[in-house]
Amino acid sequence: GRQTWVYDADAGSSEERARVDELRSEFAANRLLQKHSADELLRLQSEGNRRSGPFPVNKSGLAAGGAPGAATVAAALENGVSFYEGLQADDGHWPGDYGGPMFLMPGMIITLYTTGVLDSVLSPQHKAEMVRYLRNHQNADGGYGLHIEGSSTMFGTALSYVALRLLGQDPDDRTLVAARAWIHARGGAHHITSWGKFWLAVLGVYSWQGLNPMPPEMWLLPYASWTGIGWLHPGRFWCHCRMVYLPMSYVYGVRGTCKQTPLTAALREELYPLPYSEINWNKARNYCAPEDLYYPHPIIQDVLWWTLYQAEPLLLGSRLRKKALAECLKHIHYEDENTRYVDIGPVNKVINMLACWFEDPSSQAFKKHIPRLFDYLWVAEDGMKMQGYNGSQLWDTAFAAQAIVATGLVDRFSECLKRAHSYLEQTQVVEEAQQPLGEYYRHISKGAWPFSTRDHGWPISDCSSEGLKAALVLAKLDSKLVGPPIPAERLYDCVTVVLSYQNGDGGWGTYENKRSFEMLEVINPSETFGEIVVDYNHVECSSACITALVAFKAAHPTHRAAEIERTLKRGVKYLKSIQRPDGSWYGNWGVCFTYGTWFGCEALAAVGESYASSASARSACAFLLQKQRSDGGWGESYLSCQNKVYSQLEGETSHAVNTAWALLALLAVGYEAVDCKPLHAAARCLLQLQQDSGDWPQQHISGVFNRNCMITYANYRNIFPIWALGVYRSKVLKQ
Ligand code: LAN
């Protein structure tokens, strides 16, 4: 599943190279347009694709009411899967763009610059593609968002500015002049969020005095809850929060700083409208540009950080500090070794690397980090970006396999399914992380599926569940066609993991059980991310685990039957308890109510509830139908995620992925028994949006994390329309 990019000047034919250039310029030209008119972009994109489409589908008659012709749907599916099969890698997964956040690549570039390896690690082509990306994603006002679709923030702008400068761009360049003006108009780069302050301090263009403390000593607190203070132990944090603050507190604890260079000296002047020496660092600790503020610090934080700020001079260089730093390093090395230096995510990946270098610049650990940086890079028509993970390989493959099976075209696409099956088999985690797990605050992993690759290996509740469902669905098919099933013992291990993830209240979180309580969110200092301190329950994770256990029970009715039964009862009760009064579920990891409601409906359906039998299903349908648009589709804006209120996409065109989720949800609870008209309209909308190549257009961003940051799931545009049309064909057209 590993994806890396190497530049090859001779790759492809001259026509292909010309086409690549054409796509890039099209993207760059449309970029600003997109900011103003998404519909226009879509039109251009589909025109571009139409030109090269090999399988024109007859779309006549689609505009009329009623069911689309069975032959049209069949052709669209054949075409859609055939195109998508062409994107599959030899090892069976589907590579895809997992970019979106704008704050990741600058951290990597600052790390490479600080450790002195920027020029030896990144080729000139890597750098050129990164610059292309940063130019493409500048907003019309000169700033940069937190993510590619967001309005400008200080976090995005100051870090992108620094990245462009470290990549060799001139301060008089138009892009940089505009970005600098944006920064200065808002007081200067010291108004950046706390994570931004950290990166600027590492680079030596911001004072460590201007940071709220991140004392590594927190790792020396007792863990036990009866001590009271134990509730604050990082071992209880959501793993992503814990793993980011771990190396951050190490680097903070040693004040790891880049040596001064002419470039960093210049940046000290460029980033602020006032002289560097006149900045009041103590005050700057709590500055945050209003554009960036999503979760303002509660007063209790200001008190806490003030107290720790007073204590910091005593701790710096003390014996206690030494002990705390050693404890941090122990956990950093454990994480590196257990993920083969991929690390859990893009943020701790580069800060761990930095910590290893500050510990010992000639260490093996630092060297081992380098090749794994490339796992996070992705090049597309908009240039090179750092992704939100080392890819979404397993997640996409598990969905894709389920989607393709749902089309009924198993014989036709058996080779494709066989490869996907093999990827599932090879990616299941078969060994525990190094023992003792408890000492490293790790949950069990044996039997789980990760989000990306086996090398990464962190277990996740819903990835395990989707992996399990895909494995079960493939195991039902002829193994001569789709390859041998994964042995039952390994599925049992997965069930153990899925069961272990259920929390006391019946719900499921992401990587671990809930180890503390919601109120601890008051110490979330990140300003721009919501709900990072606790591993909360989610409708997606809960639904995925419920549906997986139901599927497993059907295939293996005697294995842990009573336990599974009890788990399901509690799970469904929990799920209903978080359904909103309007019938929807809030989606945490996709946009947004359409995504959450799809998961909610699938879980209801799995335990036998339908429109006819369940009030919960009826209100979910009512919610969805009320949001259906005049073109028959759904189009939800990412603003739903941050505001937690349903928000329609602007423009007339619906979103293929939202439409597919809504259609799948309605079909799951049997809405076809009530009224087929809205379902026909949704199917027509998906057919209408499909390009002649069989692809669907890449529309607005579909993924999200921590309420406020969006993330691209490029594979969704193929997987979900295929899946929804497949189920539509079998349930409604009865084909
Ligand atoms: C992911 C990616 C996968 C995602 C799903 C499996 C889809 C979801 O159902 C559960 C949550 C999970 C595992 C998830 C959590 C947050 C992640 C890890 C990410 C969105 C990928 C990147 C993001 C991570 C937190 C980014 C770094 C930023 C921080 C605030 C630490």
Q: What is the mean pLDDT of residues 410-430?
A: 98
Largest CA distance in the chain: 78
Is 277 within 8 Å of 269 (Cβ atoms)?
no
* pLDDT interval class at 21 (50, 70, 90): confident
The Cα–Cα gap between 470 and 425 comes to 10
What percent of the chain shows pLDDT beyond 70?
95
Q: What is the pLDDT of residues 53-111, one digit of tens each?
A: 334 445 555 555 788 989 999 999 999 999 999 999 999 999 999 999 999 999 999 99
The Cα–Cα gap between 504 and 203 comes to 44
Phi then psi dihedrals of residue 645, to 5 deg: -135, 135
Report the DSSP beta bridge partners of residue 648.
636
Q: What is the pLDDT of residues 346-394, one digit of tens each?
A: 999 999 999 999 999 999 999 999 999 999 999 999 999 999 999 999 9
The Cα–Cα gap between 625 and 619 comes to 10
Would you say residue 37 has pLDDT above 60? no
* pLDDT interval class at 28 (50, 70, 90): confident
Q: Is the dihedral of CA 31, 36, 38, 44 positive or negative?
A: negative
The Cα–Cα gap between 187 and 181 comes to 10
Q: What is the mean pLDDT of residues 284-292?
A: 97
Would you say residue 704 has pLDDT above 80? yes
The type of residue at 659 is: T
Q: What was the pLDDT predicted at 30?
A: 77
In angstroms, what is the span from residue 705 Cα to ligand 1's centroid? 6
Residues framing ligand 1 (Cβ under 6 A): 240, 244, 345, 347, 388-389, 395, 451, 460, 462-463, 510, 529, 532, 540-541, 589, 705-706, 711
The Cα–Cα gap between 443 and 432 comes to 9
Q: What is the mean pLDDT of residues 271-286?
A: 97
Burial class for 9, CB neighbours closer than 10 Å (0-12, 13-18, 19+) = exposed
Q: Which atom of ligand 1 is nearest to the CA of 240?
A: 31
Mean pLDDT check: name the lowest of 27-41, 437-451, 524-538, 679-693: 27-41
Q: Is the ipTM of this complex over 0.90?
A: yes
Q: What is the mean pLDDT of residues 166-185?
A: 98
Tokens of 138: 């500048």
Would you say residue 690 has pLDDT above 60? yes
Would you say residue 399 has pLDDT above 50? yes
Q: What was the pLDDT predicted at 47?
A: 46
- Closest residue (by CA) to atom 18 of ligand 1? 345
Q: What string of DSSP letters covers 348-374?
A: HHHHHHHHHHHH-TT-HHHHHHHHHHG
- Closest residue (by CA) to atom 3 of ligand 1? 451
Q: What was the pLDDT predicted at 26?
A: 86
Pocket test for ligand 1, best of 445, 508, 532, 705 (most atoms within 8 A of CB): 705
Q: What was the pLDDT predicted at 50?
A: 37
Q: What is the pLDDT of residues 621-642, one digit of tens each?
A: 999 999 999 999 999 999 999 9
Q: What is the mean pLDDT of residues 136-158?
A: 97
580: left (phi over 0), alpha (psi -120 to 50) or beta: beta
Number of helices and strands (H, E) in the chain? 29, 6
Report the DSSP beta bridge partners of residue 704.
710
The Cα–Cα gap between 494 and 378 comes to 31
The DSSP symbol for 531 reads S
Choosing from 97, 375, 462, 695, the catalytic residue is 462
The Cα–Cα gap between 49 and 52 comes to 6
In angstroms, what is the span from residue 175 Cα to ligand 1's centroid? 31
Q: What is the pLDDT of residues 493-510, one digit of tens each?
A: 999 999 999 999 999 999
The Cα–Cα gap between 226 and 158 comes to 43
The Cα–Cα gap between 639 and 678 comes to 25
Q: What is the pLDDT of residues 555-567, one digit of tens each?
A: 999 999 999 999 9
The Cα–Cα gap between 587 and 661 comes to 12
Q: What was the pLDDT predicted at 53?
A: 36
Would you say residue 52 has pLDDT above 60? no
| Residue 493 annotated in active site | no
Q: Which residue has the tokens 């003006």?
A: 181
Q: What is the mean pLDDT of residues 330-358?
A: 98
Would you say residue 43 has pLDDT above 60? no
C-alpha dist (Å) from residue 484 to 182, 281, 548: 58, 63, 20
